[in-house]
Amino acid sequence: MKFLFTLTLLFQAALVQAQEIKARVLDASTKQSIPYANIIFAENHGLVTNEEGFFSYNAEEGRLPEIIKISSLGYEITEIAPADISEGIVYLKPASIELGEVFLSSKNLSAKEIIEKVKEKVSTNYNFDNSKKRVFLRQSGTSHVRRFDLEVDKSTIAGIDQHLMDEISEKIPKTSDSYKEVLADMYGNYDNQKVNIIKAANLYNPQSMKNLEEVTQHFNTIFMNTIKERSYLKIKSGIIGFKVDEDELQEGLMITTENKEKTPQEKEKDSIKSRKYLQESSGKHVKRLLNGMFWKEDITFNLFDKSNKYKYELNGYAYIDNSTVYVIDFEPKRGADFKGRLYVNTLDYGVHRLEYENVKPLKKFRLFGISTADDVYRGKMIFVKDEAGKYNLSYLERETGETVGIKRPLTIIEKNKHVKGRRKQNELDLDLNLRLSEVEKLQLVVYKTEAMGAGSLDNIPAIQDFEYKTFKTYNADFWSGHNIIEPNEAIKNFVALDAEKKNL
């Protein structure tokens, strides 16, 4: 019986494994990974490799396909049976392009003329019909504290001194990261969408500020024990100042007590609120991404809307999906903001792939020692051509970031007109020198596309009850049985600070 039981377990494990493919796509010549390669399982059904060339596929319904097709820019299309994938690696051979004289003479267009052809053909090349798409959205956030200096010029409050300010500066987390991952069904087109979440995960550092909160609480305690009843504060930074009255002061510096355990009802209420917020924010993220498609007007990445502001260079040809493509580089000519590269089909002028990044901050502000700069804006768009000749979105990525600097004096004065003598009771003078940066990255993978019947998006019922979990370490099992873009090493190695300490 034990033997039969063990055999049954092995058989079940083999069945599970038979429904899943895990592999890495490499260049056959250099053995380097190939990021963002298209993995096609059936018509309008596929995914892409991650930045490190990895992909995984789960047969959510039925068995694995007999053949999968793998293609990437500059490589021959490879068709392979899942069973023939050896040691989890698939090699792609670089494609050789042979351009005859007839091709060259018939395609004697300048790069600018090709761009104009792309704009003319958008309405016929891309699929603008409503559809149901299975998508995976990953939101990555990283923040860095470049500088955090607090210099005490004067303090009449015992305990609030340079030593305490140095301790606060030391406890500030210098780097913090977080990730949200959402598997969803998206209905609609590039202009209007409705997103229903199926499952979601949150890799979050809730304790990343714990040490800072402790020392800040110490600061608050000293302050509260020092200031007198019915005092108010005058806070000034240069010529800018404002007043904090007694009630605001008590509320702002209130010493927190230990959190009470929430009741099951309170926890369920918080859970419903979190899922509702995630549903709304995910829809907004998808809308932001799709509102930035290259053919739209009045968008931040304005290559096609303001094409006269750029100069273009035809930088040869490449091969993708059995098609020859123009390789066109672009850079600013008249005060534009971006540089990048796009790959345009030589026959129908459809864009297979587009990559761009800003060459200067998009916005800058500096006044009275406060500065901000929107200094990161870059992205990718990848399209796959279907059997009907229409280009469909396969992968969309955008990174945005800003840097904030503060270099100003700060004076906090306690005043009290109800105490005999001078109104000024205490004073704290600081010099602040802070510099922080934050980058958000959104990745959208379209896994499967189905035709959608006529009717308003409002008729599609919203789904509020979905699985949503928060993790302090990466959980490889959470997405088992679902198709996502494979996590990179940073995500796999994610450990929240408090979880990391417990493992020490």
Per-residue model confidence as pLDDT tens digits over 176-225 = 788 899 999 999 999 999 999 999 999 876 555 556 667 677 777 887 78
Domain count, the chain: 2
The secondary structure of residue 254, as a DSSP letter, is P
Of 70, 96, 122, which residue sits at a domain end?
Answer: 96
Residue 80 placed within a domain: yes
**Predicted TM-score of the model (pTM):** 0.82
Which pLDDT score is estimated for 173?
79
Residue 402 placed within a domain: no
- SS3 call for 223: helix
Q: Is 284 found in the same domain as 171?
A: yes
Q: Is 273 found in the same domain as 419?
A: yes
Q: Which two tokens stand for residue 352?
A: 């297979």
- SS3 call for 236: strand
Q: DSSP string covering 131-156, please?
A: EEEEEEEEEEEEEEEEEEEEEEEEE-
Radius of gyration of the chain, Cα coordinates, nearest whole angstrom: 28
Which pairs from 494-501 meet CB under 8 Å and 24+ separation? Answer: 494/177, 494/179, 494/203, 496/203, 496/204, 496/205, 496/206, 496/207, 496/208, 496/472, 497/173, 497/205, 497/207, 497/208, 497/210, 498/206, 498/207, 498/210, 498/472, 499/472, 499/473
Q: Are 439 and 457 in contact (CB under 8 A)?
A: no
Range(s) of the domain holding residue 214: 131-297+407-502
Q: Is 276 found in the same domain as 421?
A: yes
Nearest partner of 490 among 437, 443, 435, judged by Cα: 443
Q: Is 417 found in the same domain as 490?
A: yes
Q: Are 408 and 238 in contact (CB under 8 A)?
A: yes
Residue 391 placed within a domain: no
| Phi and psi, residue 279, nearest 5° | -60, -45
Residue 46: its H or E element: strand 45-48
Q: Is 255 found in the same domain as 190?
A: yes
Q: Is 234 found in the same domain as 168?
A: yes
| Phi and psi, residue 168, nearest 5° | -60, -45
Residue 160 placed within a domain: yes
What's the rounded Cα separation, in Å, for the pair 131 and 8? 42
Distances (CA, A) of 330 to 67, 119, 399: 38, 15, 19
Q: Is 89 found in the same domain as 147?
A: no
Of 96, 120, 139, which residue sits at a domain end?
Answer: 96
Please, what is the angle between helix 162-171 and helix 210-226, to 10°?
150
CA angle 377, 378, 383 (to 5 degrees): 140
* Positions in the chain whose pLDDT score sits under 70: 1-19, 60-63, 97-107, 205-213, 215, 249-260, 454, 495-504
Q: Is 287 found in the same domain as 168?
A: yes
Q: Is 200 found in the same domain as 252?
A: yes
Residue 284: its H or E element: helix 264-290
Distances (CA, A) of 493 to 114, 178, 243, 490, 502: 44, 12, 46, 5, 16
What's the rounded Cα separation, in Å, for the pair 331 and 328? 10
Of 96, 112, 145, which residue sits at a domain end?
Answer: 96
What's the rounded Cα separation, in Å, for the pair 492 and 298? 38
Residue 121 placed within a domain: no
Residue 322 placed within a domain: no
Q: Is 176 found in the same domain as 33?
A: no
Tell me the CATH number at 78: 2.60.40.1120
Residue 470 placed within a domain: yes
Q: Are 94 and 27 in contact (CB under 8 A)?
A: yes
Residue 414 placed within a domain: yes
Q: Is 177 found in the same domain as 69?
A: no
Q: Is 142 found in the same domain as 35?
A: no
> pLDDT (tens digit, 9 = 90+) per residue, 426-479?
999 999 898 999 999 999 999 888 888 767 787 888 787 899 998 888 888 888
Nearest partner of 464 among 274, 310, 188, judged by Cα: 274
